[in-house]
Structure 1
Amino acid sequence: MSVSISRRRLLGSSSAALAAAAPFGALLSSPAAAAVSEALKPSFEHPLTQRTVAEMLAMSPVDTARESALVSNAFRVLVDAAEALREPALRNAVLAILKDPVPTVADTDEGKVLAALKAEGLIDAKRNKVFPHVTQKGRPEQPFWSAPGSGYASHHAYPGGLATHCALNVLSAVRLLENYDSVFDCDLDYDAAVSGELLHDLHKPWVFAWQPDGSSRVEKPLAKTGEHHVLSLAESMKRGLPARVVVAQAAAHDHPGTPAGEALVVGWIRAAAIIAGVDPVERGFLAADKKTLPLPRRSEGFVVHLADHDFVLSGPACQWSLPALKKLAASTYGLTSEKDFNSFRNYVFANLSAMRVWALLSTEGEAALAADVARILKA
Structure 2
Amino acid sequence: MTSEYTSLDSLIEDPGRRRFLGFGAAAGAVLAAAAVVPSAARAAAKAKAASLDECLSLSQQQMAARAPAVKQGMAYLRSAANTVRDAKARAVVTALLDDPVPSLAGPLADAGNRRAVYDELVGQGLLKDVAFEAFLPPVAEGGRASQPFMSSTGSGWTSHHAYPGGLVTHTAANLHISEAIYASYKDVYGFALDRDTVVVSQMLHDLHKPWVFQWEGSGACRTELSLAGTGEHHVLGVAESIVRGVPARMVVAQACAHNHPGSPADEAQVVGWLKAASIIVGVDPEKAGLLAPGGATLPLPRRMEGFVCHLGDHDWVFTVPAAKAMIAELGDLAKERYGIDDVSASSKHFNNFRNYVFSQATIESLYETYAVKGRAGFASAVAGVVRPA
TM-score with structure 1 setting the length: 0.92
Write out per-residue CA displacement over residues 234-260 of structure 1, whole angstroms, 9 at most, x where no aligned residue.
000000110011001000000000111
1:117 aligns to what?
A: 121
Amino acid at match of 1:225: T
- Is 2:17 the partner of 1:2? yes
- Is 2:152–2:165's contact at 8 Å kept on the other side of the alignment? yes
Q: Secondary structure at the match of 2:257?
A: coil
Mapped to 2, the partners of 1:39 and 1:367 lie a distance apart of 24
1:262 aligns to what?
A: 267
1:322 aligns to what?
A: 327
> In the superposition, relative to structure 1, how do residues 270 and 217 fare at CA in structure 2: closer, same or farther (>3 Å)?
same
1:76 aligns to what?
A: 75
Once the 2 structures are TM-superposed, how far is the Cα of residue 358 of structure 1 from its aligned partner? 1.3
Once the 2 structures are TM-superposed, how far is the Cα of residue 25 of structure 1 from its aligned partner? 4.1
TM-score with structure 2 setting the length: 0.89
Query: Given the alignment, which residue of 331, 338, 360 partners 1:351?
Result: 360
Mapped to 1, the partners of 2:228 and 2:260 lie a distance apart of 15
> In the superposition, relative to structure 1, how do residues 289 and 183 fare at CA in structure 2: closer, same or farther (>3 Å)?
same
Write out per-residue CA displacement over residues 303-360 of structure 1, whole angstroms, 9 at most, x where no aligned residue.
1000100000001001011222112112111112322111111111101111111111
Amino acid at match of 2:21: S
Once the 2 structures are TM-superposed, how far is the Cα of residue 21 of structure 1 from its aligned partner? 5.1
- Is 1:22–1:84's contact at 8 Å kept on the other side of the alignment? no
1:127 aligns to what?
A: 131
Alignment of 1:102-251 (within 5 A): 102-108=101-107, 109-124=113-128, 126-128=130-132, 129-251=134-256
Amino acid at match of 1:163: V
Amino acid at match of 1:175: A
Structure 2: stretches of 5+ with no match in the other structure: 1-15, 108-112
> In the superposition, relative to structure 1, how do residues 43 and 176 fare at CA in structure 2: closer, same or farther (>3 Å)?
farther
Amino acid at match of 2:73: A
- Is 1:118–1:125's contact at 8 Å kept on the other side of the alignment? no
Aligned length: 363
Q: Secondary structure at the match of 1:367?
A: helix
- Is 2:378 the partner of 1:369? yes
Mapped to 2, the partners of 1:43 and 1:201 lie a distance apart of 27
> In the superposition, relative to structure 1, how do residues 126 and 178 fare at CA in structure 2: closer, same or farther (>3 Å)?
closer
2:44 aligns to what?
A: 44
CA RMSD of aligned residues (A): 1.7
2:32 aligns to what?
A: 26
2:5 aligns to what?
A: none
- Is 2:88–2:245's contact at 8 Å kept on the other side of the alignment? no
- Report the identity percentage: 43
353-362 or 303-312, which deviates more: 353-362
Structure 1: stretches of 5+ with no match in the other structure: 12-17, 29-34
Amino acid at match of 1:53: L
Amino acid at match of 2:144: R
Amino acid at match of 2:248: A
1:101 aligns to what?
A: 100
Amino acid at match of 2:88: A
- Is 1:154–1:318's contact at 8 Å kept on the other side of the alignment? yes
- Is 1:21–1:83's contact at 8 Å kept on the other side of the alignment? no
- Is 1:43–1:351's contact at 8 Å kept on the other side of the alignment? no
Once the 2 structures are TM-superposed, how far is the Cα of residue 126 of structure 1 from its aligned partner? 5.0
1:288 aligns to what?
A: 293
Mapped to 2, the partners of 1:248 and 1:36 lie a distance apart of 31
